[in-house]
Amino acid sequence: MDAPYRLLFVCMGNICRSPAAEGVMRALVESSGFGGHIAIRSAGTGGWHAGKLPDQRMRNAAQKRGYNLQSRARQVTAEDLRDHDLILVMDRDNHREIRPFDRTEGGSAAKIRLFCEFCTGHDAQEVPDPYYGGEQGFEHVLDLLEDGCRGVLQHICEQRGL
């Protein structure tokens, strides 16, 4: 069996968008029967929330949709950029902020992409940060993540011939 495809979701603090993306993708991969083929993680460009569970508001919104968000926040590392096959950032700021971590020879630019490139049912360019907003912002983020994660899974299946 080939090594699992390694997927990393990145946002600013790793307590809202990227852990939710990790949870949505994990549920989708498991329900599709590809659990052994795709390894999923998340990280933040900043480390100030390291070790914390995702934001309670995001956990509540995700729980209502059947997602259990239990990963712990951590900061992205140079090894993450080297070792993952696809790195999906939630917005352009995250894309810019991840660059200093890229110490790979030749760079990792080709595998760092905006998450919303994989959305088919929404025309958003970025996943907005819901941290300072209300409950509706968390729901909107989950709508985008569910849409985009389906596209990500299709992309991986096409690349790997699954």
pLDDT digits (tens, 9 = 90+) for 71-113: 999 999 999 999 999 999 999 999 999 987 776 666 667 799 9
Q: What is the pLDDT of residue 100?
A: 79
Is 149 catalytic? The answer is: no
Whole-model pTM: value is 0.95
Q: Which of 11, 16, 119, 149 is catalytic?
A: 11
Residue 1 confidence (pLDDT) above 70: no
The pLDDT value recorded for residue 107 is 65
Q: Domain ranges in the chain?
A: 5-160
Q: What topology is assigned to 5-160 in CATH?
A: Rossmann fold (3.40.50)
| Secondary structure in 3-state letters for the chain | CCCCEEEEEEECCCCCHHHHHHHHHHHHHHHCCCCCCEEEEEEECCCCCCCCCCCHHHHHHHHHCCCCCCCCCCECCHHHHHHCCEEEECCHHHHHHHHHHCCCCCCCHHHEEEHHHHCCCCCCCCCCCCCCCCHHHHHHHHHHHHHHHHHHHHHHHHHHCC
For residue 5, what pLDDT is reported?
A: 95
> Span 44-70, mean pLDDT?
96
pLDDT of residue 35: 87
pLDDT digits (tens, 9 = 90+) for 4-44: 999 999 999 999 999 999 999 999 999 999 988 999 999 99
Is 11 an active-site residue? yes
Q: Give the pLDDT mean for 126-150.
A: 95
Q: Which of 55, 80, 91, 129 is catalytic?
A: 129
The residue annotated as part of the active site, out of 17, 41, 59, 150, is: 17
**129 carries an active-site annotation:** yes
